[in-house]
Amino acid sequence: MNPMIKQLIRKDWQINRNIMAIYIGVMLIANVMLLADPNNIVFGMGLILILTILFIMCIHLTTSNVISEYSQKTVTFIMSLPVSARQYAIAKLAANLSMFCVPWLMALVSSWLIILSSDSLPNGLTALATLGLVEILLSYCLIMMMGIVTESQHGAIGAMAIANLGFQAFLWGMLKIPAIAQHRDSNELAWNSTELSILAIQLVVIIGLLGTTLLIQQRKTNFI
């Protein structure tokens, strides 16, 4: 990797290290709560906590690490360094994605472990949990893209509204698909073709969002 991009990613992690420690810590606690019996209220609270952390991170990482660079004018400082607009955009995407993905991966891995190790949860639930988490990741990419591209709070908030509605619709729609509903209740671990194609679509959309962000940033002619 280009050393300048590496420096910028490291810089973003250092600047946000306190808040990241909090996110990771709370995510750990939430994961521990999932060790409770699925019928216990603690389990439900842990689940809600995980989703809450991820939703908060969606908007907070975008405001604190993308939009604040513009509103606090640190972007002028960064762009005065030997860095191109393209490198800056790549570094910003990579930093924000990596910061989001640490707690997100924790949630993903622990959801699998909990489901597979629990007798009362059908193993088929892993597919739905994974698709739901990937959908949250997709929402984050959309919000982040809008933040980077519009450089404004309004852009990110608009994207969040869309992402929020999209996520609700996604969950509702998923349960309407018979292949997914049936798999959810079975103990079958292997994914069916419907689930695999949904995952493929999600990944294509995520890559598309990231690529579009880079493309738009590269074509900008004013950086401050």
Partner 1 sequence: MNSHAVELHNVGKDYKYFRLNDISLNLPTGSITGFIGVNGAGKSTTIRILLGLVHQDRGSVQVLGQSMPDQQVLAKREIGYVSEDMRLYPKANLAWHMQFIQAIYPNWDQAYAEQLLKRFDLRAEQKIKGLSHGQRVKATLLLALAHRPKLLVLDEPTTGLDPVARQEVLAALMEVLADEQRTILFSSHNTLDVEQISDHVAFIDQGSIIESTSKEDLLDLWRRLRVRITPGQSVSELPHIVQQQGNGQLQSFITNRYSPALHQTYEQAGLEIQAIEYLTLEEIFVASIQARREGKTL
Which residues are at the interface with partner 1 (CB under 8 A)? 4, 7, 11, 14-15, 72-74, 76-77, 79-84, 87, 221-224
> Closest separation between CB of residue 18 and partner 1, Å?
8
Which residue, 193 or 222, has its beta carbon nearer to partner 1? 222
Which residue, 84 or 168, has its beta carbon nearer to partner 1? 84
* Residue 92 and residue 102 in contact, taking contact as beta carbons nearer than 8 Å: no
Which residue, 62 or 111, has its beta carbon nearer to partner 1? 62
> Is 117 strand, coil or helix?
helix
C-alpha 56/C-alpha 198 separation (Å) is 25
Give CB contacts under 8 A, 24+ apart, made by 203-210.
Answer: 203/134, 205/138, 206/134, 206/137, 206/138, 206/141, 209/138, 209/141, 209/142, 209/145, 210/93, 210/97, 210/141, 210/145
> Closest separation between CB of residue 46 and partner 1, Å?
31
Which residue, 81 or 201, has its beta carbon nearer to partner 1? 81
> Closest separation between CB of residue 75 and partner 1, Å?
9
Among residues 114, 141, 143, 133, the alpha carbon closest in space to that of 198 is found at 133
Which residue, 120 or 221, has its beta carbon nearer to partner 1? 221
Distance of alpha carbon 206 from the chain centroid: 10
> Closest separation between CB of residue 7 and partner 1, Å?
6
What residue type is assigned to position 51 of the chain? L
> Closest separation between CB of residue 3 and partner 1, Å?
8
